[in-house]
Structure 1
C-alpha cells in the first residue's frame, strides 16, 4: 500500500514580540508496519533532546481528561462528540489513557504500553505549557479516518498553522501519522493545538515532544522565503 507524504508550509507569522518567522505543519503518513521507520523520521525531525515530552506511560489506565489532564507537555482537554462510536469506553465524553491496541489505535513509544485515545470525541485540545526555548513539536496520531469521508483538522492558536484532511476514501485501519510543527522561533509559552474530527470516529495520540533545534544564521529568512511551499512524496510499505 502506498502512503502519501505531504509537507505543508504555512504563511509567515509572528511567534515572538520582536520578530516574524515562518511556521509549518508537516504530516508524514505511514502504515502500522512502518512504526520503526516513523520513529526514525521523528527522531530526525526532533533533532535534539526534548525540553518537554509526554508518552502517557506515567498515567494509570483509564485516566481521563475530565477537568483537564496535566501532562509533561501541557494540559489536555476534550470536546465531546455528538455520536460516540462503538469503541468509546469509560467516560465517553472524555479522552482516556489505554494500554492495549484498540480499533487500530495503539502505543508508539519504544518499549511502552500506553497512549491517549480520543474515545470517539470531536476535539482533543493541547494547551502547551512551559517548553523552554523549544521551536519544534512533534507527535504521533494513529488510525485517522479508517471509516471513510472523514474531515480531520489540526488547528492552532490564531489559525496560523492549520491543516485540513478531507478524506475522499478511507485510510487503512491502524494508519500512522507523524505530525511535525516547526515554529521557526522559540515557541510562545501559551499555544494551543486542536485535533478535530467531524464524525464518531476515534484516533490515538502518543509521543508528544517539544525540542530546540538550532537555527543557522539566515535560517529565518530562508523559512520565510519558502512559505506556502508544498512538497509531495510517496512511501511504499
Structure 2
C-alpha cells in the first residue's frame, strides 16, 4: 500500500523541492497552499503523515496541527523559518512529532519523515521490540535480555507510550491526559514520580534505553543500540 504525505506550505519552492525528494523515495504526495486547503484534503484523502509550515494564511500551522491531532492519528512534522525556542515549545505542546527549521536540506526532511512513519507503525503494535528488549501490552511484561519485569499498570502504560514513539517529546499534560485521563485531579508531579520509579527499575539497563528529561517540556525515551 502506498504511503501518502501531505505537504502544506505557502512557499511554492518549498513545496516543489519537498515533493520531488519525497516522490523520489516512493511516497505519494498531496499539496496544500494553506491550512484550510490542508484540512479539506485530510477530509477527502487517506494521509499517513503531514509536513506543515507554521506561517500560512487562513489557518496557520499551529492551528492546523491542533486540528490534525484532534481528529487524525498521524504524525506531524512542522516547518518554520523562525528558529525560536517558543515556536518549538508551542508546537510540541500541541502534539507535533518533529520540528525542522528553514532553510533545511530536503534529504534531512525525507529522513525525518521516514523516522516518524516508523515510530507510528511501532505504536500500532501490541508488542514493541527493540534491541534486547520486548514490551508486551497484553501481559504487561517487559523482557530485557534474560530478565523479565512485571510492572504496575500505570508505570507500564507510561513506558509503553514513550517506547511507542522513541525520540518523541511528550509534555507532562499529554502523558497525564493519555494515561490518567482528562478527569484526573492530581498534578504533574505524578508523572515525575512514575518516571523516577521507571528509571530506578531499569537503572542497570541504561545502555539499552534511557528516559530523558526535556527541560521546560517533558520526557522522551531514547533506545540505544
User: TM-score scaled by structure 1?
Assistant: 0.26
User: TM-score scaled by structure 2?
Assistant: 0.27
Give the number of the structure whose residues are more often helix, by fraction.
Answer: 2
Larger Rg: 2
Higher RCO by CA contacts (8 Å cutoff, separation 6 or greater) = 1
